[in-house]
Structure formats: C-alpha cells, structure tokens
Copies of this chain bind each other. A is one copy, B any other.
Amino acid sequence: MAEDITKSPLYKIANPQSIVVFGASSDPTSMGSIQLNALMDLGFKGKIYPVHPRDKIIMGLKAYASVQDLPEVPDLALIVVPTKIVGEILRYCGEKGIRHAIVVSGGFKELGEEGARLEEELKEIAKVYGIRFLGPNCIGVANPYARLNTTIFKYTAPPGYIGMASQSGSFVTQMFDYIKLFNMGFSTAFSVGNEADLDLVDCLQYFALCPHTKVITLYIEGIRRGRQFVEIAREVSLSKPIVAYYAGGTNTGKRAGLGHTGAVAGPEKLYEGAFKQAGIIKANNVQELFLIAWAFQNLPLPKGNRVVVLTHSGGPGAAAADACGRAGLEMPELNKELVEKLKNYLPSTANLKNPVDATFSKNMIVYYTELPQIILDHSTTDVLFYYSFMPQERVKAILKEMNIKEEQMEEMAKEILKEQTELIRSIMLKTQKPIMCFNFRDPRDPYVAALIERNIPVFSDPHLGAKAIKALLDYWVWRNNRKKGDGYEK
C-alpha cells in the first residue's frame, strides 16, 4: 500500500487543480450541465474548461471547441457524453496528456454484451495513454475539502469525516441531505460505477491515507477483486473502521444489482465470511450503514460488553433491554457499590436493577448530570445506553416555578440545553466510554437537535442503538485480537 496519498491513482481525481468537462452545454437540463452547475455551486477553486463543439460560453465560462485547444493539461477530465463517443473523447484526452478521468456516461457493461465490448475498448485506450479513471456509469466524486463535487446534486452537508465508496451514484449524491440530518459530512465520496479501472479496493487504499476520513462506508452490489479486497480491507481496518452494506445477497437483490453496474453478486454467506475476515462491519441496509458510521465517528469504542441502561420510564427501558438481548449485548446486574452510589440521587420509587429506572422525579437535573456520570465512572460499566429525553415543557415548568420571567425563559432553556449536552459529551470524553443516546422524538426537538449539533448521536429507536453498540464492540474485539496476533476470525 502506498504511504503517500498523492501517489494514489485517485488523488488527482479527488483533488484536481483543473478539470475539463465534456457534455455541459448551453442546455441547463442536460446531465453534463447539471454536473457543471453542482461543481460551480460548491465553489471549486481550480480551473474549469468546458469543451463543446458549438457553444462558446457555458454558464459564464469560456468553452473550447476541442481539448487540444486548452491552454494547459488539466488534471482531470469529466466525461458526460453519449456512449458511442466516450472512447474517442478519452483518446483525445490521452493525446493532450491528461492522465485522470471520470466517465459518467452509461451504456457499457451494465447493458450487456455490446456494452461490455465498448467497456473493454475504453480500458484499452486508457492503458495506451496511462489514464486512470473512475466509471463508466458513475457520478464521480464529492470532496468538500477541495470544494469538488462532480455529481448532479448540490453538496449541502458540511465537510466531514465519512469516506464513501459506492457502486451506486445515488448513495453518494442522494445522501448529501441525509447525512446532514446527523450533522455528518463526507470526507470524500466516490461513485465507482462499473469499475472498469479504479474500484473499491483503490478507494479503500485512498481512504486509509486520507487525513479527513475517520470511518469508511461501502455500498456494494458485487466485489470484483475479491482476494485483494479482503487483504487490503484487513489492513485498512486496523486503523479505520469499515462499514459495508451489501445489497446483492438475496436473489432479488442480486438480480437488481446485475442490471445496475454489471458486478457479480455472490451469496450472502460468502460476503459475510469475507467481511468478518477483513474486520468489516456489516450493515443490513442503508440506514444502518450511516447510523453505524455515525456511532463510529463520534463515540469512543466500548472496551467490553457490559451495558447499563438508564431511563426515567419503564417502557423505553424494557425496549432497550429487549434490543440489547436481540443484539447480543450483556446487561449484567448492577454492581452493589454502584447501587449505593446511585441511591443518594434517586427517589424511593426508582428501580435499581439494570435498566436503572429513575422514574418520575421533581429534581430532573440529576438525571442529566450525576446519574450518567456515576454509572460511567464505575469500573463495571462499559457502555451507557441512555434514554435521553428532556421534555421542554417540563424544563419551562421548572423555570416558571423558579420565578424566571417569561422573556428570559427561552434563553435560559437554551442555556440549559447547551450545558447539559456539553456535560454529556465531556463525561464521555473523560471516561472514554460510549454513551449511546436514544429517544422517540422529532429530530427537530430542541434537546435532540442540541445533542446532534454537539456530535452526540441520538438514535430514534433503541434497536438501532443496540446494533450500533454491537458494531463498535465487534470492531474493537476484532482489532484487538488482530493486534495481539491471535486471529479473531479463527
């Protein structure tokens, strides 16, 4: 594996200084134009050269009749033209000296034999000129740090820490809004399309070296270089967690995937085995893929499987316990010393088993301060699974009781949210143990929004939280065993 990210064949694709665009035109509804628009919208700082046989100005940029006319050799070619002329364009690029391309155009291997032949031709041309390329049948790259977005949607999330390599362009572009819901952003996201040249393995190697990437996510319909994939992923997993959703496992999934990028899907079990060997965390759907990544990005890894559930009402506690049971997590009986410590802060109606049920209490502040602190501080707790729910009506009722004036209330309620959520974060950082929050609130709820803003994940159902805890734990165990050298996968 390369030690220097600039040596990665994907480096210039994700970090170009200049781009030539084929397929944008004065028609703003064409796909090439939409992509150029997204690129300009993010404020790409390098040079952009549209090439078009007739149009002279495209979206305010000077357009060139041919790639030969360009005043320099661009780092990257973005090709969004009819299938039959893609080869020709790529050849012109090669002659100009361009060595990196993104082929957006479809109509290749994914459409059958004739398409497969055209794809082989493309590979030949690339080989002749030493061009490394992404695609065909892809949507390109989003790297918000380089203000690069070649896709068809505006990049709306903040620059972030999630690396994404996807065999579906949708799970790059159509996730921009989605990941923003979790206050997440991509470090860089690659749509790899048919992977005629660069593939998931290259992406893994890139992300291993990418300084912004904390967690790697993969959307897989079928893996092409199986052995290399497992070998490289096994290495990369040692430093960064990889979470993957494989959609080709069922027969219906397989058929759908085949129609899409022409990858070869295998039985679920095969992929499961490969993932396990490589330390890859398996997600069962898109939602899990990003929720687990959210947990990896923001929570310390648990160092054991002893979960303590903290709740102030029975139902959510029982649901969390049920979720832990299903996910294979342990909820041991509460340590006696811990019980004694908690007793000082709880009403007599509280239940001091696991879940710890604080029940209804007039002094609700203790639920957000002393209780999580005491539970996580104790050596017998590995994870706090926390029903984090702070009804704003109650906060305001208490402020009213304290004779706070109506006009100061909003601000004070905000201040309380800030203090409480920052405290939770600081407890987690100090103890280096994860706090997994869950509730059943609208994401617009002020308390939920305040937690998310401070990068404390809040799961909308405990079964999702339990799965994420299990994912973190599995990764910790795998990595530990790998480091010890005794082979977790045996």
Contacts and interface: CB of A to CB of B under 8 A. Distances in A.
Interface of A: 28-31, 34, 106-107, 111, 152-154, 166-171, 174-175, 177-178, 180-181, 219, 221, 245, 247-253, 255-257, 259-261, 284-287, 309, 313-326, 329-331, 349, 351, 353-355, 357, 359-360, 362, 389, 391, 393-394, 397-398, 400-401, 439-445, 460-464
B441 A322 contact: no
Contacts of A256: 309, 314, 317-318, 320-322, 331, 353-355
Contact of A168 (B251, B259, B313): B313
B318 A257 contact: yes
Contacts of A175: 440
14 contacts: A28-B400, A28-B401, A111-B349, A169-B314, A174-B389, A219-B315, A249-B322, A250-B322, A256-B320, A256-B354, A259-B351, A260-B318, A285-B462, A287-B461
Contact of A28 (B313, B325, B397): B397
A397 B463 CA distance: 40
Q: Which of A28, A250, A255, A314 has the most CB of B within 10 A?
A: A314
A320 B154 CA distance: 25
A252 B442 CA distance: 28
Contacts of A287: 460-461, 463-464
Contacts of A153: 391, 393
Contacts of A391: 153
A357 B29 CA distance: 20
Contacts of A174: 313, 315-316, 389, 439-440
Contact of A323 (B34, B285, B353): B285
B168 A29 contact: no
A432 B250 CA distance: 29
Contacts of A284: 326, 463
Given A318-B253, A318-B256, A463 B285 contact: yes
Residue among A309, A324, A359 with most chain B CB within 10 A: A324
B253 A221 contact: no
A280 B393 CA distance: 36
A177 B257 contact: no
A325 B250 contact: yes
Contacts of A321: 247, 250, 252-253, 255-257
A421 to B, nearest CB: 19
A315 B349 contact: no
B325 A259 contact: no
A153 to B, nearest CB: 7
Contacts of A111: 349
A168 B318 contact: yes
A316 B287 CA distance: 12
Contact of A247 (B245, B247, B319): B319
Contacts of A355: 256, 259
Contact of A170 (B177, B250, B314): B314
Contacts of A331: 252, 255-256
Contacts of A324: 250, 252
Question: Which are the 9 A-B pairs with shortest beta-carbon distances?
Answer: A168-B315, A250-B325, A253-B322, A260-B314, A256-B321, A252-B325, A170-B315, A170-B313, A287-B461
A391 B173 CA distance: 11
B178 A318 contact: no
Nearest to A260: B314
A166 B324 CA distance: 21
B319 A29 contact: no
Contact of A106 (B34, B359, B443): B359
A248 B323 CA distance: 10
Contacts of A316: 168, 170, 174
